[in-house]
Amino acid sequence: MHQDNYRVIKFGTDGWRGRLAFDFTLENLIKVTVASCQELNYQYYNKLLSKKVLIGFDRRFMANHLAKAIIPYVNACGLEPILSTSYVTTPACSFYAKEMNLLGSLIITASHNPSDWLGFKIKSFQGSSVNSSFTEAVEKRIKLQNTIEPGSNKHEEIDIKRFYLERISSKFNTQFILKKLKEMKIRVFFDSMHGSASNSLDILFKGNGSDIIQGIRENNDPYFGGHPPEPLENYLDNLKTILKQEAMNDTKTLGIVFDGDGDRIAVIDELGRYCSTQNLLPYYIAYLGLKNKTSKPVLKTVSGSDIITNISKKQNRKVIELPVGFKFIAEKMINEEIFIGGEESGGVGFGEYLPERDGLYAAMTLLNGIAEQSKYLFESLDEIQKEFGPSFYERIDIPFTDNNKKNNLKNFITNNIPNNICNYLVKNVSMTDGIKIRLENNFWILFRFSGTEPLLRLYCEAPSKDLLERTLKWSKEFINNE
C-alpha cells in the first residue's frame, strides 16, 4: 500500500472512521485489525493471560461481512476470536469483554456517522475504550507497513446481545418499573433509529409490558431513514409524531432515543421537549445522589452544561472537566472512584456499573428513577431548572473542506478574543479542548473542531433564550471575520 494511504487511518475521539470503499476499505481494515490485535496482546496479555478477543458489529451495510473477514487476521496474530452471532451495541461488547475477562473487543461500527461511513472501535478488558496512548501506538504499528498472512477461519460464536440484555435486566426490578409506569399512565417508546439497540425490549422486560413500552424504527435500514443515526432533535420527527398521536386522554408519552451503536441516549419528555445529556446528566445526579451519599466526583466534558456543576456542588461533589470524548471519562473511571461521568453528545457512564457510556443502561436507570419517585420526568427537569438554572443551550455544526481553513480559523479565534461579548466581560478562557470563553455562571461559548469529522462545533449556554440567540449570532459573525 502506498504510504499516502496511511494518512486516512487516524483515530478520533472514539475509534477510526471513514467513508466506506473510500477511506474505510478491507485493506485498511486488515491493517488496523492486525495493529490493534498486536497492541492488545502486547499491553494486556501479561495482565490477563487471555488470548480471547471479541468481534462485534453494528447494522451498517457490510459490517457483518467485514467482521467475519477479519477473523483470519485475528487468528494470525495468535489470538482467539469470538464472533457475535448478530448485530450488537458497542457497550454490550465492552460489558462482555469485562465480564468474561477477555483481552478486549473489536467492533465494526461508525456509531452516529452518516450511512456511507463505517468505522472500528477498540475496547479493553476493563470494559472501556482504549486510551489515546494505545491508539497512538496502533497508528505507529500501521505506519511500519508490516504485512501478515491470514490464518485460519476458526472462531467461537456467542450470542453477546442476549448475554448483555439479560444481565442488564437482572440489575433492575422490571416488573416494578412496568407497574409504576402503568399506574402513572405513561407509555414509553424506544427509538433505536434502525441501529444496534433495536429489538431489545423483549429480553430487557422478559416479554412483558408491550402495551407500556414499545420499540420503533427497529427494522433493518442501512440508510437509517435518510438521516445519520444520531439522537439529535432534527432527526426525530417520526418519534415526535408518534408521541403526539399516542398521548390521548390522560395518557402521557415518553420517547427514549439511541444512536447507531447504542452507546448514546436522548429523550423527548412528556411535554414533547427534547432532552440531551445537558438535561439528563443533572437528572441522574439528582436522582442517584439521593441514594448515593458519598462524595465521589462527577466528570463532565468541556461542552457540558453548568447545571451539571451547580447540582454536583450542592451534593459536595467535585466536578472535573475533561476534553470531549468518552475515552477521557473512561480513563478516570478506571483509575478513580467516580460517581457519574457524561458528555454533551449523549454518553453517560455510571461508576458502579461500567467505565463506558451505555444508552440502554441509562434508559433503564431513567425509567427506574421515574418509577421509584413516582414523578414524571418533566416535573423533575423543571425542578432542576428552577433551582440550578435558568439555562438555555445550543450546538451548531459548521462544516469546512480545507484543513488550512481549520488551522487559520483556530489561530484567528485564539488571537482575537475580545474583552467583552454581548455586554458581558470575558472572565476566563480555557484551552482544555477547543477554545472556551466563560462570561458568567450558565453562560459560555465553546469553539471546538471535531476529532472525527471536518466540522467546527460551536457550543453556547446562556441564562436566557434571547441571550443565547444573540451570543450565537455574535459567534458566527466573529468567525466569519477571519
Got the DSSP string for 233-279?
A: GGG-HHHHHHHHHH--TT-EEEEEEE-TTS--EEEE-TTS-EE-HHH
User: For residue 379, how far is the Cα from the chain centroid?
Assistant: 26
Cell of 263: 452507546
Identify the CA nearest to 356 among candidates 130, 132, 128, 15.
128
Q: How far apart are CA 264 and CA 122, in angstroms?
A: 17
H-type helices in 51-89, by residue range? Answer: 63-69, 71-76
Q: What's the pLDDT score for residue 452? A: 59
Q: How far apart are CA 314 and CA 49, in angstroms?
A: 44
Supply φ then ψ for residue 135, to 5 degrees.
-65, -30
Identify residue 147 by its one-letter amino acid code: T
Q: What's the pLDDT score for residue 2? A: 45
Got the DSSP string for 320-372?
A: EEE-SSHHHHHHHHHHS--SEEE-TTS-EEETTT-SS--HHHHHHHHHHHHHH
Q: What's the pLDDT score for residue 481? A: 74
Q: What's the pLDDT score for residue 309? A: 96
User: For residue 135, how far is the Cα from the chain centroid?
Assistant: 18
Q: What's the pLDDT score for residue 387? A: 97
- Domains, the chain, ordered by start: 3-163 (3.40.120.10), 171-388 (3.40.120.10), 392-480 (3.30.310.50)
216-272 pLDDT tens trace: 999 999 999 999 999 999 999 999 999 999 998 789 999 999 999 999 999 999 999
pLDDT over 60 at 37, yes or no: yes
Predicted TM-score (pTM) of the model is 0.94
Cell of 34: 492486525
Residue 284 pLDDT class (50, 70, 90 cuts): very high
Q: What's the pLDDT score for residue 14? A: 85
Q: How far apart are CA 261 and CA 60, in angstroms?
A: 10
Tell me the average pLDDT across 422-436: 94
399 or 141, which is more confident: 141
Percent of the chain beyond pLDDT 70?
Answer: 97
363-420 pLDDT tens trace: 999 999 999 999 999 999 999 999 999 999 999 988 887 667 777 888 899 999 999 9
pLDDT over 60 at 4, yes or no: no
